[in-house]
Amino acid sequence: MASLLPLVQTRSNTVNFFMRRSGPELWKTLTSVSKSGQKKGRRNTRQPIRPLNRFYRIGSSPMKVEFAGLNAPMRMNQDQGLLSIAEQTEDEIRDSLGGVKKILEEKDTGKKKRNREKLHPMERGFSGTQLVGQKLGAPPPVDGVDFDDFETYCLEVKRTSNMTNVFGRVHTMSALVVTGNGRGLAGYAVGKAPIHRTTTAIINGMGMASRKIFHVELHEGRTIYQDFYAECRNTRVFAQRRPRGFGLTCHPRLIKICEAIGIKDIYVKVEGSTKNYLALTHAFVTGLLNQETHQQLAERKGLHVVEMSPSRHFLPQIVASPISVELKTEETLEALDRLNLDDFYGEGRYPLRKPKALPFFSNLEGHLDARWRKHPFRNQESTMIRLIADNMVPRWTRDARAAWAEQRNERMTTGVEPMPLGIGLSHVVPKKED
């Protein structure tokens, strides 16, 4: 049965090999290396693709040919024809003579020029001039959604390898990338690229991370809702809620993740493997996502969630109470519900807290002796602060103190201030003149 579709002619020209194939296809015939060739290392010595269009422009010969629609605008009136030929001006002739040479020279001089902008020391990332840990800006827009207020951090770039039967050990760059808008939205992903293409790997990662966005609820817009425990592989993470103004006290990679998400106060203890950054990220994010807000907790438990703030002398204040569930009464409560929320979620897991070991010399005789010798001066600091606060001395420099002593001495010798003479005080001995 005949097809209803009309016959589609795809081949437009069958005359010439060069006109039948596209440019890249033609180059491929010249530069490709076979699998076995790659295995033998011929990839490094293959022919490079020459950028011919940089050196030769269509129609730019001593006799300038203008093809309408190719290097000249289309003309509507047909009588002029599609081709027109013009003479080159003298300037153009001069330019075209040295053109190739000039382009090659430009390339040579630009080789060692490095324009790295100077970053603030706190934004320079984890190590040296590498991109790891630096701010990388917003990811590109996806399907019309733009990520203008997002900030991206690369947490790790590493070389991974895979064994294949053809090439043997194949190396790949893999980059762990986190992106987030600092208000609860964030995403993380691993981007991959061939060996040495670090930037490509990071860019791939950025693209992937911006497609895997999750949302984390933040308590007061600054910290986590509850202390949680999370683990992934051999990495165990204990995160703790902290008061306002505490800052981020955690693993450097977690600091970056927290900055991306928008957490401002947190303490995290990481136990086990601290160098498997992917597992670390995964554990931390899992823990964050498994949190519940106070409202959800109140719903789940059927109880009021009550805040007791030390600045208020632990006065209980209701933060959330159940809406769709009836309140429980005291008799139906289990022991678990009576726990305060600091101990409620860890299910008995606590981070290991080691007291700081005393230095070896702390009990040596000499050290104790030195401490005892400092004992008479223990109040010196508070006295210093008192004297400065009372405007006795403007600065704690020797000159300022000496001036103050001089002034007092003068007042006493002139009799403005009485001088105590009696018991317990040494006699005033005038200084000998040398």
Report the nearest approach of another protein to the CB of residue 342 (Å). Answer: 6
Give the shortest CB-168-to-another protein separation in angstroms: 27
- Report the alpha-carbon distance of residue 126 to residue 134 in Å, rounded: 8
Nearest distance from residue 238's CB to another protein, in Å?
Answer: 13
How far, CA to CA in Å, does 162 sit from each of 168, 169, 172, 232, 274? Answer: 8, 6, 8, 23, 24
Say if residues 335 and 324 touch (Cβ distance below 8 Å): no
Query: Which residue type occupies 278?
Result: L
* Token pair in block for residue 369: 């002796």
Q: Which two tokens stand for residue 135?
A: 């701010």
For 106, other C-beta atoms within 10 Å of its C-beta total: 9
Task: State in angstroms the smallest separation of the CB of 226 from another protein.
Answer: 8
Sheet holding 151-164, edge to edge: 151-164, 168-180, 185-194, 213-215
Cβ-based nearer residue to another protein, 58 or 308:
308
What would the DSSP string read from start to end of 234-301? TEEEEEEE--TT--EES-HHHHHHHHHHT--SEEEEEEE-SS-HHHHHHHHHHHHHT---HHHHHHHH
Q: How far is the CB of 198 from another protein (least distance, A)?
A: 25
If the CB atoms of residues 195 and 308 are measured against another protein, the closer one turns out to be: 308
Q: Identify which of residues 33 and 306 has a Cβ nearer to another protein in the complex.
A: 306
DSSP for residue 197 = -
Cβ proximity to another protein: between 280 and 303 the closer is 303
By beta-carbon proximity to another protein, the closer residue of 282 and 301 is 301
Query: From the CB of 26, what's the least distance to another protein, in Å?
Result: 55
Identify which of residues 348 and 355 has a Cβ nearer to another protein in the complex.
348
